[in-house]
Amino acid sequence: MNDNRQILPDSYLQTLITSNPTVFKIIYNFFLLLLGIGISLYGATHAKNISSAFAILALLLVHVAWSRQPLAEACVIIMTGIAGACVESVNVTLGIYEYSTAAFHFALLPTWVVLVWFVTGAAIRHTFRWLSRYLLISPVMGAVLGSLIYYIESKLGVIRFQAGIEHFSLAASVLWALVFPVLIIIGHRMFPDTSVSR
């Protein structure tokens, strides 16, 4: 007897995953990025840095464990976090903005700031994969994303621009424009995803 029954019910999501796993991974990764940034900002605005840090750590561990190249994924996330910490430190040193939330003892930056960059690192090899083919667009994308995130942070009151003008978020994102192409190159040239054909 030929049993053609499926173990799982046929659905649009199942069809999407099986027919084009790359698209599914990009969609999943984009929502991971939004969720991670949301958790980070929630922790900043509600003084829940420890719990948000553990939540982000759990998300990143699941993300790395699910990856076909966990070592490469972890390296890109760590490098992005370090690069982001440098960007934020330079912006604060230049006096473009200051944080409304206090950092831990002996820490230069509040925890939530670094968490945002770590979560961004988890998106470099997936959500932003297409930028590896269009490197000239990546500085523009970096500036736009940086400006948008700084603007949202200023509206939430977790950072204050020294001039008191939200449009200074564009000036603050200049380093994003410089660093973002480097992160794309690191994520896709130094650690190419061999599981997906170009």
As given in the structure block, the two tokens for residue 105 are 């003892």
DSSP class of 191: S
Say what the pLDDT of residue 58 is.
Answer: 93
The pLDDT-based confidence of 164 (bands split at 50, 70, 90) is low
DSSP class of 74: H
Polymer length in residues for the chain? 198
The pLDDT-based confidence of 5 (bands split at 50, 70, 90) is very low
pLDDT above 50: residue 197: no
The mean pLDDT of 2-14, rounded to a whole number, is 48
The pLDDT-based confidence of 195 (bands split at 50, 70, 90) is low
Say what the pLDDT of residue 165 is.
Answer: 59
Read off the pLDDT of residues 110-140 as tens digits, 9 standing for 90 and up: 888 999 999 999 999 888 888 888 888 999 9
pLDDT above 80: residue 34: yes
The pLDDT-based confidence of 163 (bands split at 50, 70, 90) is low
Rounded to 5 degrees, φ, ψ at 48 are -120, 55
DSSP bridge partners of 161: 97
Helix-, strand-, coil-residue percentages of the chain, each rounded to 5: 65, 5, 30
The pLDDT-based confidence of 76 (bands split at 50, 70, 90) is very high
107 vs 153 pLDDT, higher one:
153
**Contact call for residues 173 and 116 (beta carbons, < 8 A):** no
Rounded to 5 degrees, φ, ψ at 83 are -60, -40
Say what the pLDDT of residue 194 is.
Answer: 63
pLDDT above 70: residue 28: yes
pTM of the full structure: 0.79
Cβ-based burial of 171 (10 A; exposed 0-12, middle 13-18, buried ≥19): middle
Dist CA 90 CA 18 (whole Å): 45
Distances (CA, A) of 72 to 34, 115, 163, 173: 22, 19, 40, 27
Read off the pLDDT of residues 39-49 as tens digits, 9 standing for 90 and up: 999 988 888 88
